[in-house]
Structure 1
Amino acid sequence: MTSIVELLVSGGHATPGPPLGPALGPLGINIKAVVDEINKITSTYNGIQVPVKIIVDDKKKFTIEVGTPPTSALVLTELKLEKGSGNAGSETVGNINMEQLIKVAGAKHENMLSYTLKNRVKEVIGSCTTLGITVENMTTKDASKAVDEGKFDHILENK
């Protein structure tokens, strides 16, 4: 019988303590080996919460699948912010530029519904709204409209 454990871990900083240890303990596998493998795989997401799926077969062999962090976490990391605004709409905590948006959209590419870079960037802009982050010194609504109007096509088409 195969067992699957899904949880969020801090990229590159997983430990045998909660939530991993208690979830894996009953499966009878080498928790240290799992933790070491997770840390190796997630090291590029240093400190960001990353979704991880651990699949354990009946012979106690495990495989690890790593998802991408939430868009909001990638945006905050890109801007070197610890958290978004607690009062989005009236409090701004940062400003993101188009190059940074493209970078985040690229990281999330596999998990986004949009087929074009332009629409993936607009999805990321939507995440900025609730974080209290402006885009190219515009509100997210104005930035999304500017993308629709083609004001950033010169950047988007070269990616």
Structure 2
Amino acid sequence: MSKSVARLKSMKKVADKVTHNSKLRTNIPAGMAAAGPPLGPMLGQRNINIAAFCKDFNERTATMKPGIPLPTRVKVNSDRSYELIIHQPPASYFLKQAAGISRGAMEPVRETSGKITYKHLYEIAKIKSKDPPLEWKPLKEICVMLIATARTCGIEIVKDLDPKEYGEFLQERKKVIEEQKKQLQEKREAKMLRTA
């Protein structure tokens, strides 16, 4: 009997050492962390001081252009302290910036939303290689990942890009986007009429 009691006590000591950390994964715009939804409730559920977190995040991202989406990882400790890890902006953000577009293609297989060169791709890969999940991956693997992301955005990767031709392409693309927006608005209105 005493052996089993001693065993239970030792097991209890092991169980007491287990910590249950809460993790939060979200995108927060640079310099724009605010106590309101959706960030405030996520932090509140994890017992983090919302005002202190927002101040900390905004100070750490003050040198960046406001509004850039930043993948953020927050590890919450049992004493309400936290570890804040801010990654580089998503690959799709960099690809769209390099292509000079604000949105990707609605149908990436059928349409091209923009174009970038292999040099752009390589430079983006170098930036993304600083992210903690990617820092041990070779640049070649990161480039392959970026090519896949570019395809889902409808961005074509080319050897050379003529600025004049590309400017004309972007002007034509604006017309296509306006037409797509118009079609989406008509679909929404038709759906609202059916549900009313």
Q: Same fold (TM over 0.5)?
A: yes
Structure 2 Cα separation of the partners of residues 105 and 61 of structure 1: 33
| 1:126 correspondence with 2:145 | no
Show the counterpart of 1:77. Answer: 97
Cα distance between partner residues in 2 of 1:6 and 1:105: 22
Tell me the residue number matched to 2:22: 3
**1:97-143: CA deviation from partner (whole Å, max 9, x where unpaired):** 122111211122143498443443232122111111111268xxxxx
**Distance in structure 1 (CA, Å) of the matches to 2:68 and 2:118:** 22
Whole-Å separation in 1 of the counterparts to 2:82 and 2:136? 33
Match of 1:146 in 2: none
- One-letter amino acid of the counterpart of residue 122, structure 1: V
TM-score by length of 1: 0.70
Superposed, 1:86-97 pairs within 5 Å as: 86-97=106-117
Q: Tell me the equivalent position of 1:145.
A: none
For 1:5-154, list aligned pairs within 5 A.
5-43=24-62, 44=64, 46-109=66-129, 110=131, 111-112=133-134, 115-136=137-158
> 1:45: Cα distance to partner?
6.6
User: Is the 1:114–1:120 contact (alpha carbons within 8 Å) kept by the matching residues of 2?
Assistant: no
With a CA cutoff of 8 Å and minimum separation of 6, indicate the structure with the bigger relative contact order: 1
Q: Structure 1: give runs of 5+ residues left out of the alignment.
A: 139-159
Identity across matched positions, percent: 28
Contact 2:25 2:72 in 1 (8 A): yes
TM-score (norm 2): 0.58
Q: How many residues align?
A: 138
Task: Report the CA distance shift for 1:27/1:93 in structure 2 as closer, same or farther (over 3 A).
Answer: closer
Give the secondary-structure state (helix, strand or coil) at the position aligned to 1:120.
helix
Q: Which runs of 5 or more residues in structure 2 are unaligned? A: 1-19, 161-196
- Pick the structure with greater CA Rg: 2
Distance 2:81 2:158 in 1: 48
